[in-house]
Amino acid sequence: MEEHIQFSEQNLVHEEEIGHGAFGTTFIAENISNNMKVAVKRMSNQRKEIQKYAMITENRINTLSNNKNIAPLFGYYQADEFFHIVMPYYVNGSLANFLDKVGSIDRIESARISSEILNALVFLHMKKVVHRNLKPGNILIGENGEMRLTDIAMEEFQKRVEGKFDTLNYMAPELIKARKLTYAVDIWSFGCIVYELLSGDLAFDHEDDGSLKKMICAGAYKMHGKVPTSAATIIVECVQKQASKRPSSQDLFFHKWISESAEESEKN
């Protein structure tokens, strides 16, 4: 792994833009010292916040890079009015890219993907970190097809960017209502992702943001016909309006649908 002190504007050549969202713009870059391709997330540098950004990022490097289903951070640097975070570049892109190409995914593979997302969530929640922006676009696909969660903000940083949202479709009601955040916001998002994996469609979708927010807050979705009964239970448990009724990531990791699908996969 690259040491974060090796990165600067001088030894990274920015290439094409590969992502843009509420928290910044992501580029492919090449480290000219070793020709290594990396991804660089560029965020506006609010000068009063730069030390906090650096401290939070340093903390993430030290505590959240030891899980196989979390994308590590290589380092960070400041240049002009921007704060940059350096990450691995995954040539396979994101789960969102993959879903755009294939639509729905079969039950066994969906369960594998779900279990890897849960593995990361269990780890994060044990570290007292809420992802808060869990969605297919923030799940990268590693070299061996493993899921890698990215865009994980530490809780201190999340409090400072309250109200900035990328995608409504996966957002829990309490986020929309600006209520206290708990790990349950990630569970809601996870349920929405499972729905999309199996059906190829969004659980909550509307062209008007106001109407979409109302749908989410009402928990108004219909179970898709492609979703098998065994998997429908996990979605129903996760996508509950009342956050306290949602299961924990640890409980979900041992859910019957996950374990039975894994056993079936091993037999085949």
Q: Within 13 Å and on the Cβ side, how many CA atoms surround 16?
A: 2
Which residues touch 10 (CB under 8 Å, ≥6 apart)? none
CATH of the domain at 179: 1.10.510.10
Work out the burial of residue 69: count CB atoms within 10 Å of its CB; fewer than 13 is exposed, 13-18 middle, 19 or more buried. buried
Domain extent at residue 66: 4-88
Same domain, 151 and 167: yes
Phi, psi torsion values for 13, nearest 5 degrees:
-105, 115
Which of 164, 114, 111 has the alpha carbon at shortest distance from 139? 114
Same domain, 23 and 75: yes
Which of 36, 123, 23, 132 has the alpha carbon at shortest distance from 88? 36
Per-residue pLDDT of the chain (268 residues; tens, 9 = 90+): 444 446 777 788 888 888 877 667 889 999 888 888 999 988 776 655 656 666 677 777 777 778 999 998 888 888 877 888 888 999 999 999 999 999 999 999 999 999 999 999 999 999 988 998 899 999 999 999 999 999 876 444 444 444 455 589 999 999 999 888 899 999 999 999 999 999 999 999 999 999 999 999 999 999 999 999 999 999 999 999 999 999 999 999 999 999 988 888 777 6
| Domain-terminating residue out of 35, 64, 88 | 88
DSSP 81-145: TEEEEEEE--TT-BHHHHHHHH-S--HHHHHHHHHHHHHHHHHHHHTT------SGGGEEE-TTS
Distance between CA 243 and CA 253 in Å, rounded? 18
Q: Are 190 and 238 in contact (CB under 8 A)?
A: yes
pLDDT at 220: 95
**Ligand-binding site membership of 256 (annotated):** no
Phi, psi torsion values for 175, nearest 5 degrees:
-70, -45
| Domain-terminating residue out of 88, 104, 123 | 88
